[in-house]
């Protein structure tokens, strides 16, 4: 791993301003992201894990310039991607590609597979007409589809096959980083396994880096080198996957590992169910986002926003009570 990250997310904030309602009332603004920071190195698969609404998709969209940050920035090889101009946005688009959860909705139903996959090549005028055809056949082969797929439409394929088409389309422009937003969440278990193997194989063969966005803890544990744990728009913990699994530091991480079906360790007792008042979101202007579900919360947790702090050379945690995991550091 080189010392400089391929992509850095720094203090990223995104606030969605609620539109005025018919009655002129203003609904609350949504702070989808609050000072998110993490890195992705070349060839690394980083899992971005969090429950629904935690801001995962919004981070992913910021990484491919589909969403403008309100504060902070994303940089690629040291360059702020919002500040790109001239030919550079096109260049960036070839470096970083996104794949989506719902393969059906993300593929144009009127285009044949050949044209879907070649879209990026056409837009960026990569290669000649003939070489593009060759390239598309190779791309389809690399995701396990035959040339017989070329002239068919996306809806003629199963969910798993559509996801492969989406991956081939993303690979067409030769990206170095793939942002994959819940790419296997809509697929059946047996199909999930095939797509996970495909993604891992791409990293092995092409040295691709990947942001694997998911709420599925076991899938993240299996595929990713490192994990970024998100909760209500904030990063709670960043850790190498193996160390995270044996020794989660943040109280939220511990809850996740204790509750994930199948991951539950024999020694770990049942976590008491969270009290109901905790199902309402806490006031996020002050204090820790996890405080009303946290078994370790103290008074300060309701007033001070815990900063994301480096606690070991490879681990970051946002918690006001480092003594909880201090022995493990």
Partner 1 sequence: MAASCPALVVEGLNIHFHTRRGVVHAVDDVTFDIAPGEIVALVGESGSGKSVTSLSIMGLLPRIGHIAGGRLVFQPAGHAPVDLATAPEKVLRKIRGGGIGMIFQEPMTSLNPAMTVGEQIAEALVLHHQADRRAALARAADLLAAVGIARPRERVGSYPHQMSGGMRQRVMIAIAIACRPALLIADEPTTALDVTTQAQILEILQRLRRDTGMAILFITHNLSLVEAFADRIMVMYAGQVVECGNARDVMTAPRHPYTKALLDCLPVRHLGRPGDGAPPELPTIPGHPPDLAHRPAGCAYAMRCDRAHDACRTGHPDLQMADAAHGHATRCIAWREMSVAAGA
Ligand X SMILES: Nc1ncnc2c1ncn2[C@@H]1O[C@H](COP(=O)(O)OP(=O)(O)O)[C@@H](O)[C@H]1O
Contact positions vs Mg ion (CB under 5 A): 57
Q: By Cβ distance, which residue is nearest to Mg ion?
A: 57
Smaller CB separation from partner 1, 8 or 255 = 255
Contact between 30 and ligand X (CB under 6 A)?
Answer: yes
Task: Answer with the entry of ligand SF4, partner 1, ligand X, none that 301 interacts with (C-beta below 5 to 8 A by kind).
Answer: ligand SF4
Contact between 231 and ligand SF4 (CB under 6 A)?
Answer: no
Minimum CB–partner distance for residue 188 and Mg ion (Å): 11
Quote the CA–CA distance of 226 and 240 in Å, as a whole number. Answer: 4
Binding flags for ligand X, 49-88, as an x/- string (CB under 6 A): -x-xxxxxxx------------------------------
Binding flags for ligand SF4, 293-322, as an x/- string (CB under 6 A): -x-xx---x----x------------xxx-
Check residue 55 and report its DSSP letter: S
Minimum CB–partner distance for residue 98 and partner 1 (Å): 22
Strands, DSSP E only, in 195-327?
A: 209-214, 226-231, 234-240, 309-312, 315-317
The CA distances from residue 44 to 5, 92, 240, 257, in Å, are 10, 18, 11, 23
Smaller CB separation from Mg ion, 183 or 287 = 183
Which position among 221, 288, 308, 311 is part of the footprint of ligand SF4 (CB under 6 A)? 288
Task: Answer with the entry of ligand X, Mg ion, ligand SF4, none that 160 interacts with (C-beta below 5 to 8 A by kind).
Answer: none
Task: Answer with the entry of partner 1, ligand SF4, Mg ion, none that 219 interacts with (C-beta below 5 to 8 A by kind).
Answer: partner 1
Quote the CA–CA distance of 326 and 125 in Å, as a whole number. Answer: 54
Closest CA to 165 of 92, 99, 66: 99
Query: How many Cα atoms occupy the beta-carbon half-sphere of 212 within 13 Å?
Result: 28
Contact between 35 and ligand SF4 (CB under 6 A)?
Answer: no
Quote the CA–CA distance of 249 and 316 in Å, as a whole number. Answer: 9
The CA distances from residue 105 to 109, 219, 224, in Å, are 8, 23, 26
Minimum CB–partner distance for residue 280 and partner 1 (Å): 7
Neighbours of 117 (CB within 10 A): 29
Smaller CB separation from ligand X, 51 or 88 = 51
For every residue of 64-85, DSSP letters joined together read TTSS--SEEEEEETTEEGGG--
User: Rule CB under 8 A: which residues touch partner 1?
Assistant: 51-52, 158, 188-190, 192-194, 196-197, 200-201, 215-219, 221-223, 241-243, 245-246, 255-256, 259-264, 271, 273-277, 279-280, 293
CA angle centred on 33, ends 27 and 37, rounded to 5°: 165
Instruction: Give the interface with ligand X as residue ranges (CB under 6 A).
Output: 16, 30, 32, 50, 52-58
């Amino acid at each position: 791993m080189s010392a400089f990250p391929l992509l850095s997310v720094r203090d990223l904030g995104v606030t969605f301003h609620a539109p005025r309602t018919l009655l002129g009332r203003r609904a609350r603004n949504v702070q989808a992201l609050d000072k998110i920071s993490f890195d992705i190195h070349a060839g690394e698969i980083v899992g971005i894990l969090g429950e629904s609404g935690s801001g995962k998709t919004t981070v992913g969209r910021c990484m491919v310039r589909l969403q403008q940050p309100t504060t902070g920035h994303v940089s690629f090889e040291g360059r702020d991607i919002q500040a790109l101009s001239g030919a550079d946005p096109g260049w960036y688009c070839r470096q970083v590609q996104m794949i989506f959860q719902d393969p059906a909705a993300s593929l144009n139903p009127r285009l044949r597979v050949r044209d879907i996959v070649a879209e990026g090549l056409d837009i960026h005028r990569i290669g000649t007409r003939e070489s593009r055809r060759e390239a598309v056949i190779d791309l389809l082969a690399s995701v396990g589809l035959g040339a017989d797929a070329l002239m068919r439409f996306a809806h003629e394929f199963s969910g798993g096959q559509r996801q492969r088409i989406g991956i081939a389309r993303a690979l067409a422009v030769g990206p170095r980083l793939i942002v994959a937003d819940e790419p296997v969440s809509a697929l059946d278990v047996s199909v999930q396994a095939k797509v996970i193997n495909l993604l891992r194989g791409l990293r092995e063969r092409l040295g691709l880096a990947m942001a694997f966005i998911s709420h599925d803890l076991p899938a993240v544990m299996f595929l990713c080198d490192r994990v970024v744990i998100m909760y209500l728009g904030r990063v709670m913990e960043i850790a190498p996957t193996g160390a995270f699994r044996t020794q989660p530091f943040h109280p939220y991480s511990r809850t996740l590992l204790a509750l994930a079906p199948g991951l539950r360790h024999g020694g770990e007792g049942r976590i008491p169910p969270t009290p109901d008042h905790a199902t309402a979101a806490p006031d996020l202007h002050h204090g820790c986002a996890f405080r009303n579900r946290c078994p370790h919360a103290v008074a300060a947790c309701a007033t001070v926003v815990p900063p994301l702090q480096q606690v070991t050379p490879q681990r970051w945690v946002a918690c006001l009570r480092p003594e909880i995991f201090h022995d493990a550091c």
